[in-house]
Structures are given as structure tokens and as C-alpha cells.
Structure 1
């Protein structure tokens, strides 16, 4: 804790006070009639019970950006809610001998208090929780509407089953080559169950095509979604299999069909199963030996043959473990000359390997050791030999009778059934006479019964709840005991924030059309192919119900990096977590916010550092002390050259910080602001500041910090005597022309660095005078000519100018330099402006080296020194 006797602020006093004042004034409330607000949203948190540093980083990003947009005069929608259904809460309740609802609500209460303590500026009037019947009623409504649209169906299917969680997992929830559960890491099994599916594949093309329009999304997220959708244009065609008739295959390389020397079936293919019943070798392979996850493809030869539809040749049929039942048709044509996996299989089992595609007709590849997988021209392919691969694909698809163009996808329909209690009940009853029947809309929501502590699905044990009557025939029926995947909750929650109290619809259609899409969304990369893909699908489906004008939910996306500890992700299991509450207690919420935002750009990981936290805390205390000193003893200096320099730096900081906030590169904005505060302190220490300039600098720095350190900003804003909240103050604007700020700053910094280098190299311990010489006007004109001229010879262009030509060898030498550096030339300030800027900044050199500083034009300097001066790089003499 800080020493209470010292100057500065007490975070434990100011932070709750300002939070209360914001709440009393409804600073962050947005009225329903706000016109087209800026919608800023962080992926809502799962109710784990405690905020962690990842939460702090995520929600500080959105809070800072929302506060910035609000200071720019915009209406800002910045809501919060709770992803409060899910298996972890159910497991936690079982461990604690309570029920998931009570556990979840207590977690929400704790996390809400912690978010208040962090100073996050949410419109709490829009708070939602997905476990609230007023919310999940609309999950059920959406289920029924999608069913009406033909996008919901039930069928028996092989599913991913986690034996630890005792529930089905979507493909997207099975992770890694080891195929483990995304939540608990248990190896996933395969089972066949009746499941409810949502038809996301109906939107596969649109989901893939529209990725190109998401310019505000990270490229890696778009690539991950594109890969997951896995669109492959190709062809379907039939091979006649002996005793079984036509069997369909899909291929992206029908141009290689003349090289198909074997046919392969998945172990689960119905023909493979039939052969296994009469062939012990096949049965043994199917039941015991097949290993789809193995390093090498394995198989077993059958007594069947398949007819190649292009050659008419009979080729052997194998059952192979690299062929998957749920990918394509569960059968494929093996082309070992042009597919790496097929080549490995053929080499192992002595199957012919024939080249049928070559780089050119004169260069047939040797495919004995490795497959040739590129496009080329066909060889050994009868009448198609000499045809380019792309052309041959079209011709063969047209010429082979059974072949048709086809697009295959990796994406599968979304299995939403979960065999757990703590989720949205699926609004279906099962009647022996009528089959599955939707619960009437007027009876929604179907609520959960009391929790039953049991293994497996607790809803199966809720006998009284299960028994019901059929809405169609009135006969006995049972409720569906599966609940919905919790990703259903998050697939549309951003729409509910628009009108969270609407009792007649999931959201107000007119308001959603006006307020959507989310302008800035922030969340973890781990949701790239689950939450983000499902949200895009549901948004498109809702738009097709004519309930929304927008077909994409999130215009701009930031995927924030992790907070690390010694290079590793913080986690409870590793015992390396840092409690945000401990940081808030010792240093304050603003310190935690400042450190997480200045450590790195939002998308990058960064290491937690106690030193960094202390540095952030020290900076905030110094800012407050500087303001206190100013208000207690206002300066009385003149508006001199130094004040002009400081005023210009204030404007330059505003421009740079504003651009950084707009780009969400907060670290750059904060670095600029810290530099400004440091400059103001140097200004105060060097001379008696000009009061108006100095106060403006402090006020600007305060407003630049307000999005990230809102409590300290409010305290400083008030101390400076400003009315109202810093949170509602206008973001600062330059007082003068700041269009050349970058070049002016670069000029000053380069000059200071050159002085340092000369002092260091020459070993000058106590310089008495530093003379800075600005280049003459003719060199500036020569530079402009070199930049603007299209002529190949710059020197020739320069020598057409009388006043440049008369400089003789000096002009020729400078012209040669311009010629040599032509590709990297940039424009410079005018010589008069360069002179003014350097004179105004001379005090910084004087302060650093304790020497007199003189800034002169070339005409007033020693000729031998002046010759060395060039635009943006003045000559320097140190005595």
C-alpha cells in the first residue's frame, strides 16, 4: 500500500467514489431512441466466479475504446451479460453439493462486483444472463423458427462423445490430432445417438464467400474459418464394384483418373462391413487394426474389384483406415502417382504407381519415390494426353457418364444436442403416435426442473418433468431430455442487448436494423471456428427470416493476446495466476488497466511484470502530484519559444494518440501521453512555464488517459477545476496546424541524437556551445526537384536551375547524393520552418548537455560547417 502521508491520490478512496458518481449520473446509459450508436462489445464472460487477468485485458480494451468513442461525441452501446449455462457450472455444483442455478447466480454477483471495481463503463440496464428463462425462451423460439425454415432436423448419427463430461461434442469442440475434449482434455469416443442438428451447411457457400468482405477481421481468423468450412470444388463419379454395383467417389483431381490403380473403402462403409462378415482378414482389420490416427496408412485387400470408368480396367479394392466414413462418400479412387498419401499406401502394399500428369509432355516425372502433386499436362491418358490439367478436369467431367461437378465441404451440420442439465431445454416432446412435436410458442419457455444429483443426464431422472401430453393429439408424451449446446446462447446474444426487456420478440427489429452490426468486437482467438462461425450462421438465418437487414454480426474484430507469466499462459492448474483483485487492492484498478494496455498491442501476448505494474502506478502518482503542484502554485512564465515548442508537442500528441485510439493501438497512445507528461515535467523543471500552455498540456494528458485510467482522470480533471466528468469531456483537438507534426518531431529527435553521437564519439565531456546549422534554401529546392522529377538524371535537372548550377562542385556532389538515394527521398520542412522548430526545441539540448545552443541558417554559419547541412539533417558543431 502507498504511504498515506505522501502527496498523491488514494486509489481505495477515489475509485469507488467516482464509480458511484458515474452510476448516479447514468453516464454510460444509452437511450433506446439513440440514432445509429457505435456498438462496442467484448465476448461476454463465462460465469466462473472470479475475474482473471485475461478478463481484465479483454474488457479494458472494449471499455477504453467505448470511452474514447463517447468522448468523440458518439452515442455508444457498451453492454455486458453472462454466458451462464454450461457443463462447468453443473460440475461445480455437484462438487459443492448444491445446484447449478444457485452456484451460477452467486458467481454472477461476485463477477459483477469485480467489474464495478474495475471501473468498466457498461450500460447495466441492458445486463442479460443466458440462464434466465426470459433469455433462453428465445433460444427455444429460435429453434422452432429454424425448424420451420427447414434448418433443424433429428437423426441418428455417429457423434463425438466425451466419456468424462458424458455429453456429445460438436466437431469444432474436438481439439488437436489427439482428438480430445475442448473442455477437459479427455480422449473423445464415437457413439451413435439420435441428435438434433442445425443446418449450417446450407450456408456454407455464403459463409465462405462473405469472408472476403470482412476487412475488419484479422486475416488468421478468416483463414481459420475458410479452412474449417473446407470448400473443395471437384467432381463426383461412380466406380462399378463387383457384386455391389456403382459406388460414388468424390475427387478434386479427376484429371488423374487414368492413374487410379486401386479403390479404397472406409472401415465403416457398408460394403466393407458386408465383406467383413465373410472375410476374417477384413473383419480383423475393421474391428482391431484400423487406426485413422496412425502415422502410416494401413489397409487390407478384399476379393472385390472396381472398374475404372475412364480406362475400363479392373482395379483392386482395399479397406483402408485413411478413408473416413464421414468425409466425402467414404470411398475414394487411389492415384498413387499424384497423391502423397495414396503413394505411401501403394508403396506399402505393392500397388502399381503410374504417372499420368507431367510438368510437360517432354518431362514425364519419376513417381517411384514420390508423387507429383502439381497441375501440368496429361500423359498416359489416351486421347486426353497433352491436355492441361484444368482443361482436362472440365472435359473428363463432361465425358464420363456418371461424373458431375460437385463441391464438397469439411463443414458438418451443427449438432446441438447435449446430454446435460444446465442448458436450454430443447422445446420438443416425443409422442409415440405423432413423433417429435414442437412445444407451442405460447408455452415457452420450457423451464428446467429441480436439479437431480446423478451420473449421466439429470433430466433423464426428472420423471415428473419428463411426463407431459402431446400438443397435437393430447396423448401421453415425454419431453426431450437433451439440452442445447451453450454456443446457441452466444450465437445471437449481441442482438438481445439491443432490447433486453422485450417480452414479445427476441429483439426489436427496427432498432436492431439501426444499431447492428457490432462496430467493434473483442474476444479470444479460441472462438474463431465455434462462436464466431455459429454467430455468422445464425445472423444470416435470422436475416432470411426478414428480421434483420444485416447478414454479418461483427464489422470489426480484435482477438486479444494472452497475459502470460514467465512465458506461460496463466492458469489455476499451473498456479501462476495473478489475481486482479490483489492488484486492485494494492495499486488500484487504474494501475491494472494501464499496465495491461501499455504492455503490448491488444492482439499480442505479453508477460505479467510486477515491475511494470509498479511503473504504471508510479506514473499515475507523478501525474497527480504534478497537477497538485500546478494548482497550488500556478506558474507565471511568458509565451516564449519554449512554450511554442511545448504547445506544438501537445498538438502532435493529440493527433498521434487519436489515431492510435482509433486503431485500438492503445500502447502507442499511452506512450505518447506518458511522453507528454514527461515533457511537461521537464518544462516545469527547466523554466517558469507559461500557465495557459502548461495547464492545457495537463488537461490534454488527462483526457488522453481518461479512456484507460478513468478514475485518476476524473480526480485530476476535477482538481484542475473543470466542470462535469472527464468521461463526458470532448476528446482534445489540436489548437494549431499539426499537419507537419511527424516531420517536425523527427527533425528534433534526429538532431538531438546526432548531438549525442558527436559528443560520445568525440569524447566531449563538458560542451560549451552547440551550433546547429540549417541547410540553405537551394538544397531544399534541389530535394523537391529530385522528388518530383521523372527524369532519369537528377543532376541534369538540377543544373538547369541557375542558382543551383552556380554552386558548382557542391551542387554536383549534393545532386549525386540525391541521385543515389532517389528511391528513399522524402520531403522536408521549408528552411524557415526548420529553423523555427529547432530554435523552439533548443532548450532540450541545453537541458541535456548544459551547453549554450545556437540555431542559425547556413548563410550565418562557417562555410565549412554549412556545407554539411542538408534538409532535415542540419550540420552540427560542438565547441
Structure 2
């Protein structure tokens, strides 16, 4: 037998066996399986290291839960529609479907090579008519629920991609595209660049389709408090994106133009307003631009930029208009500006400029030489730190505010809200979800436009509306397919045209986790009974960049489906894991940067082991050849030990005293590794297994191994590594004559109680470290004898009294009240004083009997490392070493 492990030689065999045995296929009759899901991939052409890290996490956890005895749902599918495929097809002079199908075949093969254990019987592909038919059907359900709108809107247009972008797909202010623009969903133009091609985004007025996600704004933000299994960063991103703000609205009359409503969270500053500003997209801006060419030029420049270039983005840019606003409480006339820093989709798109109490208002007023009038004075410590050249943005005491002078901000606000001019209000940054895309490769929106009837839904019996054959053209290819576009109206039978926009691909992914439950169901998008029983998704793994693109949409969709009577669950995901980024040379690994490493380059299983061992799943890590090599060497080390054992080096059958330590450490390792799998700390799992493998190697070299303990240790090691390195584990299990497949084996369990395994390990580890320190300090290179002296039992009693005592108690007196301690005289008093001084740092310890037993069992480790005789004994009165021995800190003497 060879003692070298080569996964490439065995992977096809084990893939065949797993498939033959149906290891990963979920029984349709399963009751509430553990649902483990990785965000399905765009069909971009090949797996990259980000995919591998994501899917290695889900696969390891799914395999672990399966070995724990759970039924496990772990499916895979393809996010197959979208602009990248359309662009790739255009570049290669082919059609999007052919390109997409070839990518899927390649990526599926790569996933199988990596050994990921998916239930491929549940595979879904969003570009299949059998899938997108249900996109169209669900569109109809939301339409019937009043959650679909068709209206003209100012939208974000990418001239390069020739399509509309949602606000979340516009990168602004140096963002990386993970959270997109400054708010909402494309009722207003957001300045920035396209998340895909980095082209500056323009503004256009188009009739578009929207999902009314704003109807759920309050529920979506309130529900975040219940998502304890989600990263706080994602929840914060969604809170900020929804942007709910409590405050009040106040109306300013504009001579000749009616009233403009302003939203503010600080009514107490209203007397400090020195100007009114509206956004370039505000209705008043349009009115004023129609009569003032300077205003028109500014509005056009900010909205679209000169000659398609990016518009003005300076927070202080703006233009004064001829309009005058009347302050509703003072009657004072205020100048009106159109200002770029005022956003269409925040509040009402208009602000009362209070430069003395708002940073952005202050900057704008300073740039335009506008008055700055302080009406809230700082009090207390803030009065000492406030700077006269900066705005005071905190709460304080009102001044120069008429009848409100002398009131605290909170009291003034309460009284002001009783004024007729104010009305309590809540605003949101969130805008409705624009789903229209002007491109071919997406789900056709199931609507026809009739001059007599207007927009009409395609009847359910006519679904799916399938895509026609691809036509290579600029713009939207569907516009060019006349025979597909021209239809009869379903209502009146008159001439009509199909909607040529297709759906945003985030519609596909907003409910795909439901289709996995019943992927071949022909009568409904998903089996509602299974959905009610099997949901929520227990663990969902994907990148944080989807915080407000995908993850907000699936939460909205679940609520909308629940209100339509199709679903019981309103939150689709229980626990969310965001995987970190794989770096290479300090930068994110990617083909565009030329620093990508193909997943198969170092071997699939070595790559899996490395990406899981390098860092916590949520942390970034650097790809290094050295660390990859370490992962490879670790596999070879384990395989070599098992191969040697399988070749006949079975060991003795009589048990020796030191074997108890290995038996105990097997139990401790099982407990520790189980804890780490539950916490998704796979890097700690690998660290535990590396330590355990080193221990097995030391044990084997110290003495002929005890067959029962050593074989159990190897079998345990094989099982514990199986979720991370499945091919290796199957090979190990076969060599160890294990029953069946390790992928379907039971998870190992401790034979003894190990609830305090961490204390036991810490005792041995720190005692070994203390012996090393002594030999180093005293320069003992070849010790003959090591004495390890465990403290007397009464010290453990005193220790526990001190740990349980209140810090204000007279701890020494409390300890010395115990007769069993007091009888030890000065030694007891000295120890009590030490405990009193150290009380705040006293950690839990083992009892005296257990500490002595653990040290005795570990004595062989000291003997093996230092090549010395080792004696373990208990301290006694009069013993020279007794004063030095404390609980969990044996006294040490080396000669």
C-alpha cells in the first residue's frame, strides 16, 4: 500500500459511490430537515476562489449535520439570467442561452470535482421556462395584491449597458457596489457609476414596473431586531437603506408656486432657518427651471452632466432662484435655492436650511454667504467644548426663538408639534423596487399593452411567456422581434404589444430557496406544505455585498407571499453567514487583477482544507503558497498514520496507565471539535485536528500503541475531518475497515463526561509550559527527574469560597471560619490573603481529585518531551513544595 494520498486518483470513485448510494438526496418524507444553503452563483463561466470558500462552508456544515443524524437539504442551482451573460455572448458572437448553458456545465463539473455534496435532484436553473414561468405567475399574484405599479419615473440609466439600474446598483461616494447609492429604488436619479461597468449613470424619464416594497418598510426595519442570527453589519445596512426617520413636516409657502413641505427631525431649530433648498429633481425645481434659463442649466447639469459626463456632486453646489419662501412661524421671507446636496429620495426632497445646527447646511450657507443664526445653545459640558466656528448639532436650550426661549430642546419640540404649522411624520429613504430591465436575457414581464385597455396581465394559462430566439442588435433585442411583440389583447382581442422589458434578476433570487423544496412541481411555484414545515433556511451563506440587493428583497418577497396566502413564514432565513474575501498580494483575488488562482490548481481537497483553515468564515485572508502547502502536508500526515496502521502495525492489547490520557483526549477532542462546528469556526476545527494528529504521532512514538485507544483515535480523526476533506475521510475510513460510507456515518461521541474539557486541557498545557520555562530559565538541558505536586484538598475549598464571595465581603475572615481550613494555621492564612488579592481574576478550576488524575494521566507527555522520570503526587503539611502548589497550578521541582 502507498502511504501517499492522491485525491485526484480517488475522487471519481467516491463521487460515483456517493451518487449511487444517494447520500445527499433528501427523502421527500423528511420532517423539518436542516436547510443549508449557499447563495447560488451567477453563471459567469468558471468557479473562482470566492465560490469555493462560500460552498466549502455550507458543505462542511451540511456534512456535519448529516453525520449528527439530521435530514439535510443542501441544494444547488444557477442564477442564469442577467446582463453579464448577455454581454459575454455579444463579445463571443453567440447567443446568451448557449453561453449560459456551457458555463453551467463547466461550473457543475467543477463543483463536483471539489467534492461538494449537493442534492443534484433538486437543481434549478432560472433561465429555464419551467422556472421563470413562476416568476411570471408570482408577478401576477403580487399584481392582484396591489404590490405592482406601472408609472413614469426619473430613473438611473447606464448608457453602456443600455438599461435602467436600481439605486442599489449605482456606486456612489467611493462605495464598492456592496450597498449602492444613497437611498431608495430609482424613483429619483442617483449620481454615480454602474455597478457592473463603472460607466457614469444618467437620468431618464421612462415608464417602468415597480414592486411596492415601501408598503413593508416598517415591518422590514422592525423585523431586523428579531434576526439575532444575522451579522449586525447586514442589519445596520438594511436599517440605513430603509432609512426610517421620525420627525415632523412643516410647510413653507412659495409665492406663486404653492407650498413646499419640509421634513425635519429637529423642529426645535426651526427659528434658525435662513433659506429653503430643494433637490434638482423636486417638482418646484422643474417649475422654476421652466422660467429661468440659469436654473434650467444647473438642473440639467446636475441631473445628466454636460455631454453625458458626471454631473455636479459638490455638497456646496447650488443656485439661487427668484422664488421666496415664507417662514410659517415668523413670516420672514427666505431665499429659495436648488441645491445638489438635497436628495430627491430623502425626506420630501426639500430642506429648511439651519446652518447653525446642521453640518451640510452650514457648509452650504458658508459657500453662498447666507446668514447663520444660532437658536439652540449648548448646556453643561457641551457648552465648554462647543466651537463658535462650527455648527452645534446637539440638543440644548432655545434662544432667539420667541415664546420658546429658555426651553430645553425636547420640551420645545413637544410644544412645537402642537402648532398648526407642524405635523408629526415618518420618512424613509427606501423607494419602491424598480424591476424593469431593457434587455433580452431575463424573465419577460407578463403584460401586454393595449391602446384600449392599457396594461393587461397575460392569463395564467398562457404562461410562460417564453423568450423568442435571440436577435443580435443594439439596445433591447426584444424590441426588434416584431412577430413576438405583436399580439392580441387578452381582454378585448384588439391589437396589442408585449411588454419588452424583462425582470431584474433579483426577482429570480428572491424566492429560489422555495423552489428547491419541490423543483419539479408543475402546479405551483413551490409546495406550500413543505414550505411551512421546512422553512426557514437554517443557515444561509453568501457575501455581505448582497445586504441590500438580495437580502432585503428575499425578506420583502417572503412577506408579500405570506400576505397573498402562499406562505406562513415571514422571515426566510434564520442564520446568515457572510464569508470574507480571499486576498492575493493584498488585493481581492480576481481575474481582472491578474491575481486569481484556479480552485483546481493545488488540488480540490487541499484548496478546501486551506480556505476553511485560514481564518474565521467572516474574515478576509491572504492566499499564500506556504499555507496551502501546510494544508497539503496535513492531509499526507493523517493518511500516512492510517496507512501505517492498516499495513499491520496494530499495537498491543494490554492497557497501560498512560493510555488513559489518549482515551480522555479523544473525548475532549470530540467535544471541542463539535463545539467549533456548531459555531462555524472551521479554522478552529482544523487547529484542533492538527493538535490531535500531533498527539497521536507522539503517542505512537512513545510506546507501542494500545490497539483499542489508537484505532479509536484514528477513526475519530477520520470522522471529525470528514465534513472538510470528504475524499480523504472516505479513504481513511476504508483503510480502517469502517462500516459503510463515512459520509453517512454517525458523528463520534465521547465515552466519558467531558463537560470541563477546556479546564483539563488548560491544566496540562500550562503545566507543560511551566516546566519548559523552568528548564529554560535555570538552563537545565537534560533533567533527570520532574516532580509535579498537586495542591492539598483544603486549598480547593478555600478557592471556591473566594470565587463565590461578594467582593465587598471580608474574604479572609470568611475563609478562615471554616474549621477544615483554619486547622492549617499560617499556611491557610497566607493562602487566604493571596485569594483575597487575586479574587477578581479567579477562574474555574478542577477539583483536587480530578486535577491529580489528569496530571497523572498526562505524565507520559512530560517524560516523552524531557526524557526524564516523572513523579506526580499530592502535597501534604510540612512538604517543602506545598506552599507553592495552588489549584490548577501544581508545584514543580526539577532535578
Query: Could you state the TM-score of these two structures normalised by the residue count of structure 2?
Result: 0.95
Distance in 1 between residues matched to 2:321 and 2:380, nearest whole Å: 36
Q: Which residue of 1 aligns with 2:847?
A: 830
SS of corresponding position for 2:200: coil
Q: Whole-Å Cα distance in 2 between the matches of residues 325 and 568 of structure 1? A: 36
State the match for 2:667 in structure 1.
651
Per the TM alignment, residue 382 of structure 1 is displaced from its structure 2 partner at its CA by 1.9
Q: Secondary structure at the match of 1:44?
A: coil
Q: Report the Cα offset of residue 8 of structure 1.
A: 2.6
Pick from 841, 849, 861: which aligns with 2:858? 841
Partner SS, residue 759 of structure 1: helix
Q: Determine whether 1:706 maps to 2:722.
A: yes
Q: Equivalent residue for 2:509?
A: 490
In structure 1, C-alpha distance between the alignment counterparts of 2:555 and 2:576, rounded to whole Å: 13
Partner of 1:350, secondary structure, is coil
1:380 aligned residue (400, 406, 412) = 400
Change (3 A) 1:552 1:833: same
Out of 259, 281, 284, the position equivalent to 1:246 is: 259
Task: Tell me the distance in 2 between the aligned counterparts of 1:325 and 1:39.
Answer: 41
Larger CA deviation: 850-859 vs 439-448: 850-859
Output the CA distance in 2 between the equivalents of 1:467 and 1:850: 91
Deviation of 1:433 after TM superposition, in Å, equals 1.1
Contact 2:345 2:429 in 1 (8 A): no
Residue in 1 that maps onto 2:108: 112
1:419 aligns with 2:438: yes
Equivalent position SS for 2:573: coil
Distance 2:110 2:596 in 1: 17
Q: Report Cα offsets for 1:102-142 as digits up to 9, x if no partner.
A: 11111111111111111111111100000000000011111
Give the distance between the partners of 1:96 and 1:362, measured in 2 at CA.
67
Structure 2 unaligned spans of 5+: 175-191, 306-310
Matches within 5 A, 1:251-330: 251-288=264-301, 294-330=313-349
**1:282 Cα offset (Å):** 3.3
The match for 2:126 is 130
2:701 equivalent in structure 1: 685
Q: After superposing the two structures, state which structure 1 stretch, 137-146 or 615-624, moved more.
A: 615-624
Note the C-alpha offset of 1:293: 5.2
Deviations 1:309-363 (A, max 9, x none): 1222222222222223343323221111111111122222232222222234999
Tell me the residue number matched to 2:187.
none
Aligned to 1:230: 243
Deviation at 1:578, TM superposition (A): 0.6
Distance 1:286 1:223 in 2: 33
Deviation at 1:289, TM superposition (A): 7.3
Contact 2:314 2:340 in 1 (8 A): no
Match of 2:731 in 1: 715
| 3-state SS, counterpart of residue 797 of structure 2 | helix
- Structure 2 residue matching 1:50: 3-state secondary structure: coil
* SS at 1:21 equivalent: helix
Q: Give the match for residue 186 of structure 1.
A: 199
Aligned residue number for residue 453 of structure 2? 434
Q: Shift of the alpha carbon at 1:461?
A: 0.8
Per-residue CA shift, 1:416-459, capped at 9, x if unaligned? 00011100000111111111111111100000011111111111
For residue 214 of structure 1, the aligned residue among 201, 224, 227 is 227
516, 519, 522: which one aligns with 2:535? 516
| Aligned equivalent of 1:534 | 553
1:287 Cα deviation after fit: 4.0
Tell whether the 8 Å contact from 2:315 to 2:340 is kept in structure 1 after alignment: no
Pairing 1:790-809 to 2, within 5 Å after superposition: 790=806, 792-809=809-826
Which of 628, 631, 639 is equivalent to 2:655?
639
How far does the alpha carbon of each residue in 1:636-655 deviate from its partner, in whole angstroms, 9 at most, with x for none?
A: 15322211000010000000
Alignment counterpart, residue 481 of structure 1, candidates 477, 500, 506: 500
Is contact 1:49-1:110 (8 Å) kept?
yes
SS in 1 for 2:876: helix
Distance 1:280 1:83, change over 3 A: closer
Which of 819, 823, 828 lines up with 1:811 in the alignment?
Answer: 828
Aligned to 1:170: 166
* Displacement of 1:544: 0.5
TM-superposed CA distance for 1:6, in Å, is 5.0
> Which residue is equivalent to 2:376?
357
SS at the partner of 2:574?
coil
Q: Within 2, Cα distance between the matches of 1:440 and 1:103?
A: 31
Q: Is the partner of 2:455 in helix, strand or coil?
A: strand
Q: SS where residue 420 of structure 1 aligns?
A: coil
SS at match of 1:556: strand
Distance 1:580 1:296 in 2: 45
**Helix, strand or coil for the counterpart of 2:537?**
coil
- Show the counterpart of 2:415: 395
Aligned partners of 1:289 and 1:56: how far apart in 2? 43
Q: CA deviation at 1:577?
A: 0.6
Check if 1:597 corresponds to 2:593.
Answer: no
Contact 2:444 2:502 in 1 (8 A): yes
- Once the two structures are TM-superposed, the CA of residue 874 in structure 1 deviates from its matched residue by 0.8
CA contact (8 A) 1:255 1:378 kept: yes
Does residue 444 of structure 1 match 2:467?
no
Q: Report how far residue 261 of structure 1 moved.
A: 1.4
SS of residue paired to 2:497: strand
The aligned residue for residue 502 of structure 1 is 521
Q: Residue 567 of structure 1 corresponds to which residue in structure 2?
A: 586
How far is the alpha carbon of 1:65 from its aligned partner? 0.4
| 1:611 has 2:630 as partner | no
**2:870 paired with 1:850:** no
Aligned CA distance change for structure 1 residues 441 and 716 (closer, same or farther; 3 Å): same
Task: Tell me by how many angstroms 1:498 deviates.
Answer: 0.5
How far does the alpha carbon of each residue in 1:820-850 deviate from its partner, in whole angstroms, 9 at most, with x for none? 1111112322222211111110111111111
Superposition deviation, residue 284 in structure 1: 4.4
**CA offset at residue 496 of structure 1?**
0.4
Shift of 1:519: 0.3
Give the aligned partner of residue 801 of structure 2: 785
Shift of 1:657: 0.5
Aligned residue number for residue 737 of structure 1: 753
Secondary structure at 1:453 match in 2: coil
Q: Cα 1:396–1:569, aligned 2, differ >3 Å: closer, same or farther?
A: same
Distance 1:322 1:594 in 2: 49
Q: Deviations over 1:662-687 (max 9, x none)?
A: 11111111211221121111111100
Aligned 8 A contact 1:594 1:709 in 2:
yes
Q: For residue 98 of structure 1, report the CA deviation from its aligned partner.
A: 1.0
For the Cα contact (< 8 Å) 1:638–1:689, is it kept in 2?
no
CA contact (8 A) 2:318 2:340 kept: yes
SS in 1 for 2:469: coil
Indicate the SS of the match to 2:150.
strand
RMSD of equivalent CA atoms: 1.8
Question: 2 CA distance for matches of 1:254 and 1:87?
Answer: 46
d(CA) in 1 for partners of 2:443, 2:66: 36
Moved more, 794-803 or 65-74: 794-803
- 1:163-198 CA distance string (max 9 Å, x none): 111111101111131621111122211111111111
Q: Alpha carbons of 1:361 and 1:377: their partners in 2 closer, same or farther (altered >3 Å)?
A: farther
How many residues get paired? 869
Match of 1:306, SS state, is strand
CA distance in 2, matches of 1:196, 1:367: 50
Tell me the CA shift for residue 7 of structure 1. Answer: 2.1
Change (3 A) 1:238 1:832: same
| Equivalent residue number for residue 893 of structure 2 | 877
SS at match of 1:555: strand
Aligned to 2:211: 198
Inter-partner Cα distance in structure 2 for 1:544 and 1:664? 34
Q: Which of 695-704 and 629-638 deviates more? A: 629-638
Correspondence for 1:625: 640
